[in-house]
Amino acid sequence: MSEASVARGHGTRVVVTGIGLITPLGGTASATWDGFISGMNGAVALGEGFDDLPISIAAPAALDPLDVLPRAQARTMNRSTQFAVIAAREAWSDAGLDRLDQQAVDPDRLGVSVGTIIGGAPVFADASHVLRDKGPRRVSPHTAPMTVPNEGAARIAIDLGVRGEARTVVSACASGSEAIGQAIDRIRLGHVDVVVAGGTEACINRTIMAAFASMRALSVGADGPKRASRPFDRDRDGFVLGEGAGLLILESEEHARRRGARVYCEAAGWGISADAHHMTAPRPDGSGVLAALRKALADAGATVDDVAHVNAHATATPQGDLAEAVALRALLGDRGARDVPVTAPKGAIGHLQGAAGGVEAGLAVLTAHHELIPPTVGLEHPDDDLGLDVVTGNPRPLPADRDILLSNSFGFGGHNAVLAFRRLGRGGNHRTIR
């Protein structure tokens, strides 16, 4: 493993040992990866209950939580939390932690860090309708705990016996990435040894979709749901709402070595910035995004020449995609912009809001592991002002001579978060630390 992060003054390296994903392409990490590599598209036309909305296209999760969780347990959680608990269990199992005795992980040095935006807001909206139509006695007693934003983190902590800390991050669409970044810092600082970190969201709801449609953020899907989300395309007209969860198991290298863990890659660093510009629009010059990108590389002890791949935020909004492209060109330079392959996952899964950063971080980790870059779905006619090497059509091998993968997340209010992952070396991305 590279010495770069230690050289930057971080006494503790952080590694990724488990992944749990629920997305519109699959109910597990492996199913999701297979869908990405094959160029699947999870967007569909919604049926009854949504057909009167101005836009009724979305990307629902491929897994119904009620098929996994006991119904009595599920009814006390909002849908976003249901996704979080299931994805956390998959990540926990993937890391081999479910096969260990209780002493293998000290619960007082175990943490949770979950990003979300909407959280239980759909529950609150539905409860408002019940109150109006049926009266206060018909409002569920579970409504209050199901609407608080921290329910996902709390339920994971209860489910896995986490006693160290349970944190919730709400930073718009950067929430999932920032939750992972904060987890990296907590491990580096020695507060915890292991963190379940990522994001979750379930906002395919009439009220929420109507609100996004009203501000003209959603694609109208004139050519049908499978061509609605078009990141970086000249004909893009907005995003498609998706839902799901993405959770990683992050550990200190020492802890992972001690238990003989299998490791995907190093969580090498992260960067964060604020645009201080507008509530819904990015800085057109991409300066805020560029600042987060540079901070992530510096935190990882890396340079631009180390960048092998960029997992772009690219929501398929006209302003957002170009601001990110401007920032990436400024970071990479003319040669790098031609040589560093970029992919935009939201063409396949839509925009998962608070879950986007967690899911796309999981995708970046799998890209490092498989040494294969998934294609960008929906990009047929690249914007004339793009100037990036975006992977389309078929998957592409990860460049062998560089080791840093960047995963970008940007949100309303100018929240920017970038994660930097370092692969362990060609052919050694998924191994046991000795």
Q: Determine how many CB atoms are found less than 10 A away from the CB of residue 54.
A: 11
What is the per-residue DSSP string for 296-321? Answer: HHHHTT--GGGEEEEE----S-HHHH
Which residues neighbour 253 within 8 Å (Cβ) at sequence distance 6 or greater? Answer: 1, 12, 13, 14, 15, 266, 433
Q: Please tell me which residue in 173, 203, 265, 415 is annotated as part of the active site.
A: 173
Q: Residue 276: exposed, middle, or buried by beta-carbon count in 10 A (0-12, 13-18, 19+)? A: exposed
| Strand residues in 275-380 grouped as ranges (E) | 307-311, 341-343, 372-373
Give start and end residues of each alpha helix (H) in 38-169: 71-74, 79-94, 121-134, 143-147, 151-160
DSSP 160-194: HT--SEEEEE-BTBTHHHHHHHHHHHHHHTTS-SE
Q: Are 274 and 415 in contact (CB under 8 A)?
A: yes
Count CA atoms closer than 13 A to 83's CA, side-chain side. 36
| Bridge partners for 166 per DSSP | 112
* Residue 262 main-chain phi, psi, to 5 deg: -80, 135
Instruction: Say whether 203 is catalytic.
Output: no
Indicate which residue of 10, 255, 309, 313 is catalytic. Answer: 313
Verify whether residue 142 is a known catalytic residue: no
189: burial class by Cβ within 10 Å (0-12, 13-18, 19+)? Answer: exposed
Catalytic residue among 255, 351, 369, 415: 351
**Alpha-carbon torsion 369, 177, 45, 120, what sign?**
positive
Q: CA-CA distance, 92 to 98, in Å (whole number)? A: 6
Active site residues: 173, 313, 351
